Amino acid sequence: MLARFNDWLTRTLLILAALLAFLLCFLVVADVTGRVVFNSPVKGTPEIVSFSIVIICYLQAGFAIRSGGMLHVDTFVKRLPPGGQSLLDALGALVGMAFFILICYGSLDGALHAWTSGEYEGEGALRVPVWPARFVIILGTALAALSYLLKALQSIGLALRGMPPAPSASH
| Amino acid letter for position 96 | G
pLDDT for the residue numbered 170: 44
List CB contacts of 48: < 8 A, sequence separation 6 or more.
24, 27, 126, 128
Does the predicted TM-score (pTM) go above 0.75? yes
Evaluate if residue 168 carries a pLDDT over 70: no
Of 17 and 69, more confident: 17
- % residues pLDDT > 70 (the chain): 96
Confidence bin at 44 (pLDDT 50/70/90): confident
pLDDT tens string 100-138:
999 999 999 999 999 999 998 877 677 889 999 999 999
Cα–Cα distance, 125 to 133 (Å, whole number): 20
pLDDT for the residue numbered 77: 83
Q: What is the mean pLDDT of residues 18-43?
A: 95
pLDDT for the residue numbered 122: 77
| Amino acid letter for position 65 | I
